């Protein structure tokens, strides 16, 4: 009997300890429920796999962190509301002696339903992002957008492609990267390419087309692609059309990065990187803050690419004009070509592409 009296003294309705435990139970329930029904990491992975994104948030871990932050804010607000609804009447009755009709259980059900509806709307919105991941200016409707970036070596195609991937969740398809990855992974196409390269021969268009097809097949149905440095010839352009058509896709935009050749030579021949961390610098435009010391890792050794010399750069530009530039009329006739000043500031180039 004494035990019951003691428990009632501390855990009776309106008692401080009772209300504290009641509030803690409500908060725990809210966080437990949202953790069960919504997994930020899984949602972020699904978005990245399907080419989706949240505007302004990088795909992957950054998206997961952002979703977790948003969900935590929603849960804290919801928990605070439920706690007030359920605990304040108890406290009021204890202090005044009045008995109120409190719909605690009903309030919990209402808030749970609101929470479920909110999470459903979040998931629906994120699903919409995955389907409508197209750039505002590169709008392809309900299907994935496919873009070609053209320009001579050093024009910034790879840099711009990576920025678009980070900002909008596209998949960058660079033939050089794909070739190295396929050889390393030992795929059938990779083994075929390896044999060709070991013989000192150039990789054929057929092998490159097979690589492109493999990469497209590995992408989600809603994922858009950015072709970096491909196609380079009229034959490859025709092959790309066929590859896309076989997979229910089509080419939407061709962006040419227009550059001044003399300025580009200066840009390329002046660049160098930290031998330790790979941070890039330039003789004229971006020197380390402390001479001979890397800003990022404090390394003191730097290197230049062997082919970053004027003769090689101009040879590669001539090759680009001879082999790649002739494909532009093909796409111009289809109204797909847009030209962007590739010599502008990095961010301005990205914005021009997005428009």
User: Which residues are tagged catalytic?
Assistant: 157, 232, 271, 305, 316
Kindly write down the DSSP assignment for every residue of 7-38, as one continuous string. Answer: HHHHHSTT-HHHHHHHHHHHHHHHHHHHHHH-
* Nearest Cα to Cα of residue 270 among 231, 309, 232: 309
Q: How many CB atoms lie within 10 A of CB 111?
A: 18
What are the residues whose beta carbons fall under 8 Å from the beta carbon of 310, sequence distance 6 or more? 265, 269
Whole-angstrom Cα distance, residue 182 to residue 280?
27
Whole-angstrom Cα distance, residue 299 to residue 100?
72
Peptide bond into 41 cis (omega under 30): no
Structural tokens at position 50: 């399907």
Find out whether 34 and 75 touch, Cβ atoms under 8 Å: yes
Buried b (16+ CB within 10 A) or exposed e, 312-335: ebeeebeebeeebeebbebbeeee
């Amino acid at each position: 009997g004494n035990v019951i009296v003691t428990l009632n003294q501390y855990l009776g309705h309106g008692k401080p300890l009772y209300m504290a435990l009641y509030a803690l139970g409500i908060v725990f329930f809210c966080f437990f429920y949202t953790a069960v029904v919504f997994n930020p990491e899984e949602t972020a992975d699904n978005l990245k796999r399907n080419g989706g994104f949240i505007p302004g948030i990088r795909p992957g871990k950054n998206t997961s962190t952002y979703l977790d932050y948003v969900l935590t804010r929603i849960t804290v607000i919801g928990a605070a509301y439920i706690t007030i609804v359920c605990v304040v009447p108890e406290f009021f009755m204890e202090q005044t002696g009045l008995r109120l009709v409190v719909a605690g259980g009903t309030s919990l059900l209402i808030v749970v339903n609101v929470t479920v509806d909110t999470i459903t709307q979040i998931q629906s919105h994120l699903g919409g992002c995955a389907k409508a991941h197209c750039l505002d200016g590169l709008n392809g409707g309900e299907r994935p957008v496919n873009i070609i970036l053209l320009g001579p070596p050093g024009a910034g195609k790879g840099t711009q492609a990576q920025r678009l991937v980070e900002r909008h969740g596209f998949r960058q398809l660079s033939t050089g990267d794909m070739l190295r990855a396929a050889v390393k992974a030992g795929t059938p196409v990779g083994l075929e390419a390896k044999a060709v390269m070991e013989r000192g021969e150039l990789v054929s268009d057929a092998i490159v087309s097979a690589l492109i097809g493999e990469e497209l097949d590995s992408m989600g149905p809603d994922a858009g692609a950015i072709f970096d440095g491909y196609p380079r010839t009229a034959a490859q352009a025709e092959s790309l059309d066929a590859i896309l058509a076989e997979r229910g896709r089509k080419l939407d935009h061709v962006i040419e990065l227009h550059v001044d050749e003399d300025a580009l030579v200066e840009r390329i021949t002046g660049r160098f990187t930290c031998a330790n961390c790979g941070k890039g610098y330039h003789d004229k435009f971006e020197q380390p803050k402390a001479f001979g010391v890397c800003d990022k890792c404090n390394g003191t050794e730097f290197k230049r690419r062997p082919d970053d010399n004027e003769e090689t750069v101009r040879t590669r530009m001539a090759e680009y004009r001879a082999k790649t530039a002739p494909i532009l009329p093909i796409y111009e006739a289809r109204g797909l070509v847009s030209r962007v000043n590739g010599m502008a500031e990095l961010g301005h180039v990205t914005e021009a592409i997005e428009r």
